[in-house]
Amino acid sequence: MKRILILGASGTFGKALVEKLSNDEECHLTLASRHASACYHESERCHVVDCDAMKADDLQQAMAGCHVVYCAISGDDLPVIAEKTVSAMKKAGLRRIIFMGAVGIYDEIPADMDDEDNVRNNPDQIPNRKAADIVENSGLDYTVLRPGYLRDGDKDDFTLTFKGEQAKGLFRPSPPLSGLPFVLYMMTRSMSVKA
């Protein structure tokens, strides 16, 4: 059974991911956020932890027994959270992290798709970029996700772009979520875990 820690489990993205992964009987979830116990209840395959990702002790407690960490947290403190998460993972002996950034952190949005969210044009992207750099240079087995268009719905459609490629697809503001949790779900399904 894959033991997966979701940091930021009570956020918009985290909730959608929890919903998707909770249907997979091969997954045991540890749901962590500052107010996780207000959103979730313990079950046979779900452990709930009130966790402040800015506190190393909270992170280490949440990581106990897990195989992989999904960080679904956003905000200005993201670089500090990335550092603390990487450090706690190394102490816990964890190697696999899936980290959520944002499209534009590598200036990959072409001008014809409205490049205003590229980091060079949008200083709000700087924490996302710094956090991604920390994860990339951590020595861990990582995936940095850069969602750009998230919406409610049942469709599991998405466009994958790899670092160094220009972004493709439609970009417009919209509420979350469908395609991204599916991508994470599929990444989890293909993950091999040593007992």
pLDDT, position 195 = 33
CATH classification number, 2-103+123-162+171-189, choose in 3.90.79.10, 3.30.470.20, 3.40.50.10300, 3.40.50.720 = 3.40.50.720
On the question of pLDDT at 167 being above 60, the answer is yes
Q: What is the mean pLDDT of residues 134-160?
A: 75
Q: Helix (H, G, I), strand (E, B), or coil: what is residue 97?
A: strand
Task: Write the pLDDT tens digit of every residue in 73-123.
Answer: 989 999 999 999 999 999 999 999 999 888 888 888 888 877 888 889 999
Q: What is the dihedral of CA 65, 41, 154, 11, to 10 degrees?
A: -80
Angle at 51 between CA 153 and CA 30, to 5 degrees: 55
Residue owning tokens 């985290």: 14
The tokens describing 91, both together, are 């102490």
On the question of pLDDT at 193 being above 50, the answer is no
Query: Domain residue spans in the chain?
Result: 2-103+123-162+171-189
Q: What is the pTM of this model?
A: 0.82
